[in-house]
Amino acid sequence: MYSSFRNKHLITTQDWSVEEIDKCINTAARLKEERQLGIYHDHILRAKTFFMLFFEESTRTRNAFEAGVHQLGGHAHFLTPKATQIDHGETPKDTIKVLSRYGEGIGVRKTYGDGTSYMRALAEYSDIPILNMQCDVYHPTQALADLMTIREKFGNDFRGKKFVISWTYGPNYIRPLSMPHSLVLLMTRFGMDVTLAHPKEFSLQPDILDQARANAKAAGVSFTTVHSMKDAVEDAHIVYAKSWGPIMHTTDEKEGLAIIDNYPKGWVVDASMMARAREDAVYMHCMPADRDIEVTSEVLDSPQSVIYDEAENRLHINKALMALTMSNI
């Protein structure tokens, strides 16, 4: 059943076909339902090891993977550069060649710097699947959990559904582009009309935008960019609003933070903003959300908010990914 996924890497969802992504989400849904019914899955990865290499700390990503591999019967090893020889200069080749002899899969989180190139260097020499737990360019596991959540709320037919990914005001530090990148890449492949909204300084990478446009064309849907959150959320089914940095405009942190502080108004999700969307619209965020800064608590805690469903689905998607890529079935 899972043979075609054996040792398959996931660095970006672009690496997987629509059919493969469908199978992953279907597997996650089945594992979720069976867990709710008290059906255990600890035979799937019994005695298998999943390495988790974190260059930054994490709440949802670490715990979803660690709990997930435990529920599948395997064991997680938590690794950091400081606690390994990576900080002493060990190459990706030597690191993964050794770890491939010890376990059956590895997840890597390297959000800042050269995360994508590091993961691709690991993949070049790896005998086990590399799962991207977030890098500087992509966050595929979160995007897959988001797609699973949307399917739970709206069903399998996404035609005519308007998905909005909007920048929000988020001060104090520069957040990566990986989340908006992964969302515009994935949602354009699944029949949704996607609108990207941001102030002019907060564009995404040109190559990612080109891929999103190509995805939309192939799927027969629209992909548009606007510079007003109010315009974007009009009649939206899904409002996914979070902050990211003006990374394509400047690499200077001080300048970037000053640009962010130019937009404290008009880029916050409150009840009046959600009222512009459809009555059955949902609000989404990958978390952590800056309460009453990016989004008001009124929206976060409203019936329209599905943030905890998204967070839960991280567990089920991660279990599906590990089961599909690490299992002997």
Report, as an integer, the average pLDDT of 83-90.
96
SS3 content of the chain, % helix, strand, coil (to 5): 45, 15, 40
Whole-model pTM: value is: 0.97
No. of helices (H) and no. of strands (E), the chain: 12, 9
> In this predicted structure, what is the pLDDT of residue 327?
87
> In this predicted structure, what is the pLDDT of residue 195?
98
> In this predicted structure, what is the pLDDT of residue 149?
98
- Checking if the pLDDT of 322 tops 80, the result is yes
Find all residues with CB under 8 Å of 60, minimum gap 6, and list them. 287, 311, 314
- Checking if the pLDDT of 281 tops 50, the result is yes
Report, as an integer, the average pLDDT of 287-292.
96
Q: How confident is the model at residue 3 (pLDDT cuts 50, 70, 90)?
A: very low
Identify whether the C-beta of residue 7 lies closer than 8 Å to the C-beta of residue 128.
yes
> In this predicted structure, what is the pLDDT of residue 329?
56
Three-point CA angle 113, 241, 177, nearest 5°: 15
> In this predicted structure, what is the pLDDT of residue 4?
79
> In this predicted structure, what is the pLDDT of residue 1?
42
> In this predicted structure, what is the pLDDT of residue 222?
98
pLDDT in tens, 238-264: 999 999 999 999 999 999 999 999 999
> In this predicted structure, what is the pLDDT of residue 255?
98
Phi-psi region of 36 (alpha: psi -120 to 50; beta: other; left: phi over 0): alpha
> In this predicted structure, what is the pLDDT of residue 191?
94
* Intrachain domains 3-139+313-326 and 142-310 with the same fold: yes
Report, as an integer, the average pLDDT of 95-102.
98
Residue 48 in 3-state DSSP?
coil
Q: Which CATH number fits domain 142-310: 3.40.50.1220, 3.40.50.1370, 2.60.120.10, 3.40.50.720?
A: 3.40.50.1370
pLDDT in tens, 189-202: 999 999 999 999 99
What residue spans define the domains of the chain? 3-139+313-326, 142-310
- Checking if the pLDDT of 69 tops 70, the result is yes
- Checking if the pLDDT of 71 tops 50, the result is yes
**Architecture of the domain made up of 3-139+313-326:** 3-Layer(aba) Sandwich (3.40)
pLDDT in tens, 171-230: 999 999 999 999 999 999 999 999 999 999 999 999 999 999 999 999 999 999 999 999
Question: Across all residues in the chain, what is the average pLDDT?
Answer: 97
For the sheet with 223-226, list strands across it. Answer: 223-226, 193-197, 162-167, 238-242, 282-284
pLDDT in tens, 105-153: 999 999 999 999 999 999 999 999 999 999 999 999 999 999 999 999 9
Q: How confident is the model at residue 14 (pLDDT cuts 50, 70, 90)?
A: very high
Report, as an integer, the average pLDDT of 80-108.
97
The DSSP H or E segment spanning 242 is strand 238-242
